[in-house]
Amino acid sequence: MSPAKINIAIDGYSSCGKSTLAKQLAKKLHYIYVDTGAMYRSVALFALDNGFFESDFDKEKLINSLNQITIRFERNENGLQTILNGENVEESIRSMRVSERVSEVAAIPEVRKKLVSQQQEMGKEKGVVMDGRDIGTVVFPDAELKIFMTASPSVRAQRRYDELKANGKEASMEEVKKNLEHRDYIDTHRSSDPLKQADDALVLDNTDLTPDEQLQKALDWSRERMGE
């Protein structure tokens, strides 16, 4: 008898390694991985490229333009790629320019409603690993496994700084720390679907864990919930 298919929701703060773990877990379990952060980053990139941040952030313009935004994922030799309105934006959505704006965009209820609806559709057949800020609380409240990831602020800042440097993007450690603090505040204080730990989530603090150790822990939890 094959193990039951489940949905896995991974939530947590910025730069805790949610996407890395979710991708690894999906690969090991032969599940579909959905990068919800990339979806919100794509909307932020659309807003930036269309001048909605030129003076004050014009939220109404963005809300009125949501029907012009189409986001999908494609897999190529470099892995999962984010496609915004037919264009591969995987690299541009990871810039500091987008990082500085994404939490503001993600706080807009109309944006969340549009993307949450798409995300829930993706999970109807089960066998999905999804990471974000509100997956276990809003998108998949009935997910069979919910993981809430956290790490110390200094470790998170170092990881984000190293990631930017590795991708050839300029940023100082001070900028990175301020950006993470700003995003944490907005993510946890927004009125629509704030970041919070689901009551039935298992906490994964990876401050002192290697990537292999955290993957093993998540795999053990997954297989337990799948009835293996």
- Distance (Å, whole) CA 16 – CA 31: 21
Strand 87-88: give its sheet, edge to edge.
Answer: 71-76, 79-84, 87-88
Which residues contribute to the annotated binding site for ATP? 12-20
pLDDT of residue 167: 84
Q: DSSP string covering 141-204, please?
A: TT-SEEEEEE--HHHHHHHHHHHHHHTT----HHHHHHHHHHHHHHHHH-SSS-----TTPEEE
Residues with pLDDT less than 50, the chain:
none
Record the pTM.
Answer: 0.83
Amino acid present at 10: I
Which residues contribute to the annotated binding site? 12-20
| Domain residue ranges of the chain, discontinuous segments joined by + | 7-225
**What CATH code is assigned to 7-225?**
3.40.50.300
- Distance (Å, whole) CA 201 – CA 5: 18
Strand 202-205: give its sheet, edge to edge.
Answer: 32-35, 128-132, 7-12, 145-150, 202-205
Q: DSSP string covering 77-140, please?
A: TTEEEEEETTEE-TTGGGSHHHHHHHHHHHT-HHHHHHHHHHHHHHTTTS-EEEEESSIIIII-
pLDDT tens-digit map of 10-68: 999 989 999 899 999 999 999 989 989 999 999 999 999 999 998 889 999 999 999 99
Residue 64's φ and ψ, nearest 5 degrees, are: -75, -10
Q: Is the dihedral of CA 81, 54, 15, 109 positive or negative?
A: negative
Q: Return the number of other C-beta atoms located less than 10 Å from residue 139's C-beta.
A: 27
pLDDT of residue 1: 63
Q: Return the number of other C-beta atoms located less than 10 Å from residue 60's C-beta.
A: 10
- Distance (Å, whole) CA 43 – CA 57: 13
User: Among 43, 44, 97, 93, which residue's Cα sits nearest to residue 69?
Assistant: 43
